């Protein structure tokens, strides 16, 4: 492992933090007790760093920064990361120091920039773009850690896994190998999930009623006051068919509404999970698994909603046609029969 010499940087940071913690911290900043505890951790970190104990020194510097944040402490953390062969973290803290301390002495800025240049020779760089750029709920991870597309990602040499997840899109996974000092530009092309086809309802024809054997009967008695249009023979399907189709249509409409509401709820859960991933909180692997489950559930519910919608629309059209074609009048039958004893008239019907 290459050894790094950052002694002057640590000393400068120690003096800066001691001065700021004692006199320059604004009233709304850390309390007096927190500043004193931060100074204690910082001194322990300097002592461990001087002995070459990089990991304990890093822990002490991190504790000091949490209690009383100051940009100069980042230099010390960056030095420890460099000695621990973690160049990406070292570059991050060096760059944050430069961004947060534009008025630092020129000599220190030059020294930090020199170390950044040396560290970049030990890592690779990946610049990612995603198409289309307007993917809703986009989350991109590198080796399971959320990253931003606004700037290149620094990675250690070796094999890496990149994943992109978006609402309504198929998850994209790419594996790449990168060498030290290498820069790669990678574009992830995302494809929309294929919508499920809407099934066409099949309406079975009504069974043909059996034809009874013809019987010979006396001609019917015709009432001279009968309205031939009103008492004509019934035409079209029976009312029961209309009522059955209307009932199925109503049930499908209820299913459509319920599935649509559940799909919207699943989408809301997915958006919340994506926001947690982008926020960097929680177990990222568990959040990604939950996001994939919620996306699959939302897609399945949307499919059921589409099916119910198709059945509802087809049933509505069939109900309208049946309503026009169906004769809702009560069925009445009038017949007459002549015998040797005289004539008889029968009247039957369904009301």
* Domain definitions of the chain by residue range: 7-120, 124-189, 239-331
DSSP code at position 122: T
pTM of the model: 0.45
The whole-number pLDDT of residue 331 equals: 60
pLDDT tens string 328-342: 666 655 455 555 555
Q: Under CATH, which architecture does the 7-120 domain have?
A: Alpha Horseshoe (1.25)
Distance of CA 31 to the CA centre of its chain: 42
**In this prediction, what percent of the chain has a pLDDT beyond 70?**
76
C-alpha–C-alpha distance, residues 319 and 62, integer Å:
72
- What CATH class is the domain 124-189? mainly beta
C-alpha–C-alpha distance, residues 210 and 157, integer Å:
83
pLDDT tens string 202-259: 777 666 666 555 555 555 554 555 554 444 555 677 888 878 888 988 998 999 899 8
User: Please, what is the angle between helix 239-279 and helix 284-325, to 10°?
Assistant: 160
Q: Which residues of the chain have pLDDT under 50?
A: 1-8, 11-12, 14-27, 222, 228-231, 334, 351
DSSP code at position 214: P
Question: What does each C-alpha distance from 177 to 142, 164, 182, 307 come to in angstroms?
Answer: 13, 18, 10, 45
Identical fold, 7-120 and 124-189:
no
The whole-number pLDDT of residue 220 equals: 52
Whether residue 140 contacts residue 130, with contact meaning beta carbons closer than 8 Å, is answered with yes
């Amino acid at each position: 492992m290459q050894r790094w010499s950052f002694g002057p940087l640590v000393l400068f940071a120690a003096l800066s933090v001691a001065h700021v913690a004692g006199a320059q911290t604004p009233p709304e900043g850390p309390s007096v007790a927190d500043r004193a505890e931060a100074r204690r951790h910082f001194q322990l970190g300097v002592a461990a760093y001087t002995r070459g104990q990089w990991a304990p020194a890093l822990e002490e510097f991190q504790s000091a920064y949490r209690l009383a944040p100051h940009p100069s402490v980042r230099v010390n953390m960056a030095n420890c990361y460099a000695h621990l062969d973690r160049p990406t973290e070292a570059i991050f803290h060096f760059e944050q120091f430069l961004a947060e301390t534009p008025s630092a002495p020129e000599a220190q800025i030059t020294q930090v920039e020199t170390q950044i240049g040396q560290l970049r020779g030990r890592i690779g760089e990946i610049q990612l773009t995603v198409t289309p750029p307007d993917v809703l709920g986009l989350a991109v991870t590198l080796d399971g850690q959320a990253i931003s597309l606004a700037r290149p990602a620094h990675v250690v040499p070796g094999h890496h896994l990149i994943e992109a997840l978006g609402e309504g899109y198929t998850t994209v996974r790419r594996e790449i190998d990168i060498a030290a000092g290498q820069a790669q530009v990678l574009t992830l092309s995302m494809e929309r999930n294929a919508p499920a086809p809407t099934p066409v309802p099949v309406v079975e024809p009504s069974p043909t009623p059996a034809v009874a054997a013809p019987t010979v009967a006396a001609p019917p008695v015709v009432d001279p006051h009968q309205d031939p249009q009103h008492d004509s023979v019934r035409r079209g399907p029976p009312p029961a068919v209309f009522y059955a189709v209307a009932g199925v249509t109503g049930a499908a409409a209820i299913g459509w509404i319920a599935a649509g509401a559940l799909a919207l709820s699943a989408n809301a859960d997915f958006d919340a999970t994506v926001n947690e991933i982008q926020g960097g909180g929680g177990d990222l692997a568990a959040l990604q698994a939950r996001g994939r489950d919620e996306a699959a559930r939302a897609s399945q519910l949307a499919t059921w909603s589409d099916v119910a919608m198709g059945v509802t629309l087809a049933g509505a059209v069939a109900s309208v046609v049946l309503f026009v074609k169906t004769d809702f009048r009560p069925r009445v039958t009038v017949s007459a029969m002549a015998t040797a004893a005289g004539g008889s008239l029968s009247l039957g019907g369904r009301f």
